[in-house]
Chain A
Amino acid sequence: MERLERRIESFLRTGSGDFESLSLELFRYQFEKNAAYQAYCQAQVISPASVSRWQDIPAVPMRAFKSTELTCFPPSAAAAIFHSSSTTEGRPSRHFLKHMHFYEASLRYSFERAVFSDHAQLPFYILTPAPGEVPHSSLTWMFDVVMRKWGAAGSGYFVQRDRLDEPRLLRLLKKATEAGQPVALLGTTIAFLAFFDYLKAQGDRLRLLDGSRLLDTGGMKSQKRQVSRSEFLQQVTELLEIPENQCISEYGMCELSSQFYGRGKDPILMAPPWLRTLVMDAETGEEALPGQTGLLRHFDLANVDSVAMIQTDDLGQRVDGGLRLLGRAPGADLKGCSLSADVLLPNA
């Protein structure tokens, strides 16, 4: 296993490696060490001996992370436990990480190429709480890693106890602009929208300097307020003067160790070379035809000590160079023959 770990880590640091071979070796390791995953594979009469392509490695549904400790090691030995923001019956998904170095190696490689290829010296203004306040947030952990690696002096967090500190953020952005300093803004879409509402209420707008950039992470799916990507970027341009091509969209989840990034109004999401995606036909459960919309299934080599192949409820298409994300599958919350009371009693 040490040799496998070293080879995977090398792949994550350099972007170069034998994906096909490593994926099958990782499946063998996870089959042997992850009891719940082994039981799940065996119940479908699938084992490493019967799998010769990474595409045939059994995928675990995301909901499994809500009920089961999917680990190749004792969960009590986890270096970190990431929780999802969404819950089912009060339970979030939990992703146990034995080490942080796979996660961090994957993150640094991808983030640098997607967001910081110019290695500009920018303060990072982060519209989330600090890690100490939300220790199980993979998003906050991610922002903390990149801020420590690339953030210039003055970097910091602007959410505390669920409240965005709009006045402080506005003050620091104005100060940076006056000082001729471009900035990097990172946060959830909903936090940015809250800031935009504040700016509009104040009758204020900013002219952030060339080189400024914004990274948002979506997160609209559970919100009552829905804003299209186009509308969002229009506000970014009008209120911050950050051009569309400097607006980066990040697609990730607590169940994965790696992320996708894309730019602009209709982002084509690109993955690092150790993260591959299948688009699955929602009707047949088979791989969708090229260009067809389907449910996204990801294989992440960086998920070394949990499960690498994850079936999501996200809809998307394969396009040249990457993926187009189309939202969550309707009816993703399975009901089968039960009727949701929300349908009959919407105001209760």
Chain B
Amino acid sequence: MIKDSSTLDVWAKVVALWRNPADTLRHQTLLALQVSTGRTAASVEAALSNAWNALTIESLAPFAQAEHLVETPRRGTSLIIAPATTFTAWLPTVITCWLGGFDCRLKPSRYEPIFPAAFLESLRRVAPSLAERFQISSWRQGLPKEADVVVAFGSDDTLKKLQEETPSTVPFVGYGSKLSVAILFEESLDTPVHQEETLAKLEADLLPYGFDGCLSPQVLMVEGDQESLRKVLAARCMAVPKIHSFSSQKMLKEELSKLWPYVSTVGWAGDDRHLKLLREVAEELRAGRLCPLGEMQKPPVEWSNSADLLGALRAAPILAKVDGKA
């Protein structure tokens, strides 16, 4: 049971702000994010919507209960190092840390300073108790040493350097170099109606971040003619992922094996009869998630993306009591 539901109650106000299209802070942030990220209004809107829709009370309460997350006693401070491109990626980490008894210190990417500042402002406006538990820090030597848990997003090289600066006693969680792949079975493209449905779902998966971010389908495996699909994508003025054809299960697995061990998510379109094959593919690739096309950018809050954040939070020692309080 969650003993203290106040964080979730307060969090609900933050979510409501960000899901309200009439909110002025949201509107201004959307404009500012277009400038900082170079992404269109539709992309930024999709990224924000996906992120906040996954973090409602309806999603978080069962998650926190299932994972036995307790906020008290407070366990310390997590340092979260934000990624350069996917500006909402760190949000689930923040709420998870709060629910797990950690305050959060976020070090924004130099390339995207807008969303962290806007998030903090939203906390100040509707959730001052959470604003007290969220700080924005610029990088300085020794910053990881001040944390009780370090969570970092970046390339494998970046994570390696950060881990070298983190004491061995401090749990380190890294979200490193990954990409995602979509598999389109023949029946998903066999009629104009099916083709339109499939392409709309692919567009939804590419809209928030294009090819940036580990969840974006950079590679398409197509059962059948890849050239005609390539032409259709180009005609729709869509950015074209790398496309490979396959005509057998063996061929599909062989092509995908080239992506091992970097696959984050496998999205797919087609009949459910392929599920056994898809589970085998996901297993062999050690992909963290298998989902329908159109849902690739909407991971549930409990999804770990192959990094053990919850384990790290549990491994961090409880703060020694000071004056009888934790």
A residues engaging B (CB < 8 A)? 35-37, 39-40, 42-45, 60-68, 70, 88-91, 284-285, 334-342, 344-345, 348
Contacts and interface: CB of A to CB of B under 8 A. Distances in A.
Interface in B142-160: 153-155
B213 A338 contact: yes
Contacts of B154: 336-337
B118 interface: yes
A40 B35 contact: yes
13 contacts: A40-B31, A44-B114, A45-B117, A61-B36, A61-B38, A62-B38, A284-B139, A335-B84, A339-B179, A339-B214, A344-B179, A344-B258, A344-B259
B117 A44 contact: yes
Contacts of B179: 338-341, 344
A268 B80 CA distance: 42
Interface stretch (B65-73, B123-131, B238-246): B238-246
B161 to A, nearest CB: 11
B36 A338 contact: no
Contact of A336 (B36, B40, B155, B237): B155
Nearest to B238: A90
A334 B111 contact: yes
Given A43-B114, A90-B239, A337 B176 contact: yes
Contacts of B113: 43-44
A342 B239 CA distance: 15
A175 B54 CA distance: 71
A339 B114 contact: no
Contacts of A344: 179, 258-259, 262
B177 A337 contact: yes
B118 A43 contact: yes
Contact of A348 (B38, B239, B244): B244
Given A36-B34, A337-B155, 11 more contacts: A40-B31, A67-B34, A334-B84, A334-B212, A335-B155, A336-B83, A336-B213, A338-B177, A338-B211, A338-B212, A348-B242
A42 B29 CA distance: 9
A63 B37 contact: yes
B177 A64 contact: no
B219 A341 contact: yes
Contacts of B111: 61, 334
Given A88-B38, A341-B241, A43 B213 contact: no
A39 B25 CA distance: 10
A37 B40 CA distance: 15
B175 interface: yes
A345 B254 CA distance: 13
Nearest to B180: A338
Contact of A70 (B35, B109, B175, B219): B35
What 10 A-B pairs are tightest by C-beta distance, nearest first? A63-B38, A39-B31, A336-B83, A89-B239, A339-B177, A341-B218, A43-B32, A40-B35, A39-B32, A348-B242
- How many chain B residues sit at the interface, stated as a range, is 35 or more
A344 B214 CA distance: 14
Contacts of B155: 335-337, 339
Interface string B168-199: 00000001111100000000000000000000
B110 interface: yes
A336 B28 contact: no
Given A67-B39, A338-B177, A339-B178, A345 B32 contact: no
A68 B239 contact: no
A74 B244 CA distance: 44
B177 A39 contact: no
Contacts of A64: 34-36, 38
A43 B85 CA distance: 18
Contacts of B114: 40, 43-44
B175 A337 contact: yes
Nearest to A45: B117
Interface centre among B179, B237, B244 (most CB of A within 10 A): B179
A338 B117 contact: no
B294 interface: no
B178 A66 contact: no
Contact of A337 (B36, B110, B153, B210): B153
A35 B24 CA distance: 13
Interface centre among A88, A89, A90 (most CB of B within 10 A): A89
A40 B115 CA distance: 10
B93 interface: no
B216 interface: yes
B86 interface: yes
Contacts of B242: 341-342, 345, 348
Contacts of A335: 84-85, 155, 212
A285 B242 CA distance: 34
Interface string B233-265: 000011101111000000000000011001000
B28 A39 contact: yes
Contacts of A40: 31-32, 35-36, 114
Given A334-B212, A341-B241, A67 B31 contact: no
Contacts of B213: 336-338
B260 to A, nearest CB: 9
Contact of B38 (A37, A43, A66, A339): A66
Interface string B13-40: 0000000000000001101101111111
B157 to A, nearest CB: 10
A90 B238 CA distance: 7
A338 B178 contact: yes
A43 B117 contact: yes
Nearest to B175: A337
